[in-house]
A = this chain, B = another copy of it.
Amino acid sequence: APATSTTPSSPTRSGRKSALVDPLQFMQLDAMLSAGERSLRQRARRVLEEGRDDKLLNELYERAEFSPALVDLAKQLGPAGLQIKGNGCPGLTQSETLVLAIELGRLDASFATFYLVHSGLAMASINVAGTPEQKARWLPRMARYELIGAFGLTEPDYGSNATGLQTTARKVPGGWVLNGHKRWIGNATFCDIIVVWARDTASNAIKGFVVEKGMKGFKPHKIDNKMSLRIVQNADFVLDECFVPEDNHLSAAKKFSDGTQMVLESSRAVVAASAAGCLLGAYERALQYCMDRTQFNKPLASFQLVQERLMRALGHLQASILTVIRLGRMMDEGQATMAQIALAKAWVTRTAREAVALCREVVGGNGIISDFGTIKPLMDLEAIYTYEGTYDVNMLIAGRLVTGLSAFV
C-alpha cells in the first residue's frame, strides 16, 4: 500500500543523471567568450540559481502577477542599465549584454522581459534621447531600481507599423499635452515612469516624453487573459489631455529614428538572446526529466524517438547560441545594422520555438505543468516570436538590406 505521506503529484524519479548535464559544455560554447564575459555569465548564473524560486515564479505565472521579489532578484545582478555608461550604469558591451540575456531567459522569460523593458528600453531611451540633466535625474535612480521604467511606442492600431503612430503631443506653455492610445506597454501598470512616443502636432515629428505615475489624464489598464509572459504586466492606456512639463520632453535626440533605432537594435538583439535562453532552460529540464523517468522499464531518454528529439533540440540550441554570440561580436565592432539583428532575432526565435516544442513533448503529460519547466518557455516564445518586430517583419527587414527591395507593402 502506498505511503499516504507521499504527495500524490510526484511521479517517482529514478535520480538517473545524464552523462552530460550542461548543454553549453557539449560544444564548449563558454570557451568562445572572453574571460570577462565568462565571469559575468558565471556570476549571473550563480546569482540567479541562488535566487531562483520556481515555486514563486510558477505561482506568479499562474496568477499573472508581478512581484517585487523579482525586482530584488534583479538587484542582485547589479545595477540596471546594461550598456549605458555613466550615471551609475554598468556600461556592458553588447556581447556581455547578450550573455546576460541568455541567463535571464534561461531562468524565466517574463523576468527577462521585465529586465529588458526597464534597462534596455526605458533607460536606454532616456540615455539616447535625454539631455545630460534628464539622464542625471532619472538614470541613477533607475540603475538602483528606485524607479522602474516602461516604454510606450505601440498603439492599438499601430503595431508592426509603429512609426505610423497617432498619439499627439501639443506644445503648450510650460510643456506638452499628450493625447492618444498606447497598447502592450510592459511594466506600465506599476512602474514609475514611461517613455511615451508621440507626434508633435506642429512638426509631425515623433518625440519622446517621460510620463510619470499619477500624472493627470493617464491611467493604465492591465491587459487581461494574456497567455504568454504572464508575469509581465502589459498595459493599455489612454492619454487624455495629459500634461507633461517641458523638463520631461526628451529633447536631445534630433530624430526619432536615430536614437530609437539604436535602442531598438540593442533590445532586439537582447530578445534574440533571451529566446536562446528560454530554449537552454527548457532543454536542460527536458533532458533531466527524460533521464529520470521510466516507462516500459526504460528511461524515456533511451527511446529512439525521445533521444532524437532531445538531440534535435540540442542542435537547435547550439546554433542559436552561436548566432547570438556572433551577433554580439558584430555589434560590438559596429558591423551590424538592423538587418543583421532582425534576421538573428527572427531566426533564433523561430528555431527556439520549434525546439522548445520538442522539449515540451518529451515530458508527456507533465510537460503541460509549469513545474516541469518546458511549457512556460513554450508559451512565452509565442510573445517573443512576435514582439520587437514579428518574425515576418524582421525577415522583411533583413530581406530589404540583402535584396535592396522593400517588400512590406
Interface residues of A (CB under 8 A from B): 1-2, 4, 6-12, 18-20, 26-29, 31-32, 58-59, 61-62, 64, 154, 156-161, 164, 168, 179-184, 221, 223-229, 236-241, 287, 290-291, 294-299, 301-308, 310-312, 314-316, 318-320, 322-323, 326-327, 330, 335-336, 339-340, 343-344, 346-347, 350-351, 360-361, 364-365, 367-371, 375-376, 378-379, 382-383, 385-387, 390-392, 395-396, 398-399, 401-409
Contact = CB atoms under 8 A, between A and B. Distances in A.
Nearest to A320: B319
Contacts of A387: 365
Contacts of A287: 402-403
The 4 closest A-B pairs by CB, nearest first: A315-B347, A19-B404, A8-B236, A307-B399
Contact of A310 (B160, B291, B301, B402): B402
A97 to B, nearest CB: 18
Chain B CB within 10 Å, residue with most, of A2, A18, A344:
A2
A316 B320 CA distance: 10
Given A301-B403, A302-B405, A379-B379, A330 B8 contact: no
Given A301-B403, A311-B398, A365 B386 contact: yes
Copies in the complex: 4
A19 B36 CA distance: 37
A64 B316 CA distance: 33
A100 B291 CA distance: 39
B402 A295 contact: no
B8 A311 contact: no
A383 B364 contact: no
Contacts of A228: 368, 375
Given A303-B304, A315-B347, A368-B228, A8 B399 contact: no
Given A227-B379, A315-B323, A316-B347, 5 more contacts: A8-B182, A27-B340, A61-B225, A157-B294, A227-B376
Contact of A299 (B10, B62, B382, B405): B405
Contacts of A157: 11-12, 294
A398 B159 contact: no
A309 to B, nearest CB: 9
Given A237-B8, A371-B225, A308 B395 contact: yes
A303 B225 CA distance: 28
A317 to B, nearest CB: 10
B369 A156 contact: no
Given A382-B368, A387-B365, A180 B2 contact: yes
Contacts of A402: 18-20, 26, 287, 310-311, 314
